Structures are given as C-alpha cells and as structure tokens.
Amino acid sequence: MSLEFTSSGGGGRGEDAFRVLRTIEGWRPVLPPVLMVDGVRSISGVGEGSFDLNGTNIIRRLQRLQSPSTQDLSDREIFRALQNFVRAVLDDESVSIDIPHDVATIHVTQGGQTLPIENMGTGVHEVVILAAAATVTTDAVMCIEEPELHLHPVLQRKLLKYLALETSNQYFIATHSAHLLDSSIGSIFHIEREGNESKLRFAGSASARSSICADLGYRPSDLVQANAVIWVEGPSDRVYLKHWIEQLAPAEFVEGTHYSIMFYGGSLLSSLSPLDADEVEEFVSLRNLNRYMVVLIDSDRDSADAGLSAAKSRVVRELEGDPLAGLAWVTAGYTIENYVDEARLNSAVVEAHPSVSGASFSSYGRWDNPLAAARVGVKSPSKVAIAKAVVEVPGGDWPLDLQEKVTAVIELIRRANSSIL
C-alpha cells in the first residue's frame, strides 16, 4: 500500500503503515487563522506587546506600517490602504492619518486641521480600529462583535462594503443592528437560545429576517426603508422597469435596499375625477413617507392632442416641484407596452397564451392599446406573463423616450443612495 501512496515500500514492521499515515496527514488542508475583534475597543500606545486587533498598542503597530524598516518597505502600502479605508468611510478624500514621534496618539487631519484622535469622537476610534484589523490581517477568519457600536448606519454599510470588496478575509459578524440586516452582502443567520443550547438557523427568506427584527425589538417604523420608492400601476410595470434598470445599470442596485417598487392600482389615477380631491391628495401625500419618489403613469391617451386626466396632472405637478427628488414618468404612448417592439410583443402574447398561436395580429400605433382584446384575441390577457416573456429575450430597442426616462429613474436612485453607493 505504501508503494502506491508514497512511491516507496519495504522496511521494518509497521513502517509501511507509518509512511501511509504520514502521507495522508500531509494532505490535510491548512486552516486559516481565526482572529477575534471584541465589542470593547480602545486606542492605546502603551507597551510593546504584540498587535491586538481590539486596539491595544495599535498606535505602535501603525507607526511601524507608516515608517517601516528597509526590509519591510512594502508595509507602507498597507498603511496607505488603511488610510484609503478611513477616507472612504468618512467620505472625505482629504483625510489623512499619521503617528507623531512620541507615539502618544493618532493624528487625524481633515480640512486642513489636525487633531488627536480622541478629539474626533468615538466613531472615528471604531473606524480606525476596524480598519487596521481588516487591512493588516489577510486571508484569515475574523470574528467581529457588534461593529455597529458608535457607528452611524451609513458608516455601517460602508464598512461592510469595504470588508467585502477590498479585503481578503472571511468575516463572521455578531450584530444587533437592523441596519446591517438589509445589506445584500453576505448571508444572515439567526442565533437563538433554546434551553441550555444555542440554535443557529439560516435566515434566507423575508419572513425569517422579519423574525430576527422582532426578536431584536424593532418595529416596522424603526427599520430602514428603501431610499427611493417607485410607484407603478401593476406587477407587469415592475417586470419591465426592473429589466430596463438592469440593462442600463447592471448589478448596481438591489431592490428592497436601494429602491422599492410599489403598486398603486391600475385604475386609481384613471378613474378619479376632479371631485375626488381628497383621494388625489392622499396619493400625493405618499411622498411624506419617502422624499425620493417616482410615479410611472400610463398616459391612456388615444391621440397626440389628448390631455391627461386631472388626477394624473396633479401628480405630475407635485413631483415636478422638486425635480432632484421627484419624477413623474408619463408614458410616451398609450401604455407601457407601447415601448416594446411589435414583433417581440406579439411573440410574447403567443408564449403567454398558446391558444392564439397562428393568429394574425393587426398592427398598432403609438396611441393604440397593444393588448386590446380585439387585437390579441384574448378577453383578459395576462400582462405579467406577457411582460416576463418579453424580458426573457435579450436585447431590445429603446423607442420613444424610453432610454431618457429610465436614465432619469437611475439618476434619482443614485441621488437617493449617494451616501452608501
């Protein structure tokens, strides 16, 4: 056996088995080091002990990185990476950190003013410690306890983004912060005490995350909502809009975090009359829930000269009053389906409704309803199924004002998330 495993054999009694076991032992994977960053963190320059990820003696370690010996000049790049992290978290490219000759503190220079770190607030202490731990350590498993302590929710999200994109470690983070739960980075697990043991469960669903928030004592009004809300008439509009956003800004946004799409009902703005002023005002007041708001409205116009209903005009005026945070998108045709290429829409209708296969669809214009029963041969066509069939086909044109409007939606989402993107 040892001849097959080790290319050698023979020897005294037991040597054959010993060679096999020694070879198998060499196959064991090398496990990465596991490091702990506790919830209690402080800056200290006292003593000459080894580097502590919780902040003790961190000043001396940073000084070595800032001014390394000749054989360790590459350490200066680690210090620069640490400084870049602090700049990203504080959202200020002018920030610099340095260690004075007496190693008594950390100097933070911002806006031309230099102050000791203890004058910058506890949040900066936390940022520097976590930055040092994450930047100096490579290819390790890091366990971080409650990184949200003393950090604003925006800084919490920036910290997560940096850890995920700019460092090489694997992180396990224990947190009581709902602001970290709405991040799309990483996986979330719920740890509960049951009797004399702790149970760990993967929280992959919305209901599981809701259960975590309930256990943490959060109410819905306490939780961070998406930073921008897009109101559409129905589910098919959501299918199209998500597809178009992804085409122009691939992988940039996460629905539910950067924006949410809500439904206001297909006939609400179409059926309201000038006498329904209270209902119109109630819809407009939805903006009080979130300043950054988009409303996508089917024009329902059957000609270029036709006007909008009074209710739709009221919504447009309201959102036009704050163009940086509000956008009223009235379709340039009769409905949102008028943005879809005719041949592509016809194929999607057949896929969603096989009973009409082989039918000859009449052509339609900009101010016609592409899904009218008389045209498609279906009394109540499934708009959602048709929309899904449309977006499954890659590519597509950008007719009328489609690209302009989708770009405007994307820019509004970016403005709403400027502090975390």
| Domain boundaries, given as residue ranges, for the chain | 34-186, 229-416
pLDDT tens across the length of the chain (421 residues): 444 544 555 555 556 666 666 666 666 677 888 888 776 555 554 444 444 555 556 777 788 889 999 998 988 888 888 888 788 777 788 888 888 888 888 888 888 889 888 777 777 777 777 777 787 788 889 888 887 776 766 677 778 888 888 888 899 888 877 667 666 677 888 888 787 888 888 887 766 776 777 676 655 444 445 678 888 888 889 999 999 999 999 988 888 778 888 877 544 444 444 434 555 555 555 555 567 888 888 888 888 888 877 777 777 787 777 788 888 898 999 999 999 999 899 888 988 888 887 667 888 889 999 988 888 888 888 888 899 999 998 877 898 999 999 999 999 999 888 866 5
Look at residue 189 and give its three-state secondary structure.
strand
CB 315 within 8 A of CB 275: no
To the nearest 10°, report the CA torsion of 89, 55, 183, 97. 10
Q: How far apart are CA 247 and CA 240, in angstroms?
A: 11
Residue 420: burial class (beta carbons within 10 Å; 0-12, 13-18, 19+): middle
Q: Strand pairing of 141-145 and 34-37?
A: parallel
**Residue 148 exposure: Cα atoms within 13 Å on the Cβ side:** 13
pTM for this one? 0.55
Annotate 211-234 with b (16+ C-beta within 10 A) or e (fewer): ebbeeeebeeeeeeebbbbbbbbb
Annotate 78-90 with b (16+ C-beta within 10 A) or e (fewer): bbebbbbbbbbbb
| CATH T-level topology, domain 34-186 | Rossmann fold (3.40.50)
Phi/psi at 108 (5° precision): -120, 120
Tokens standing for residue 322: 């704050």
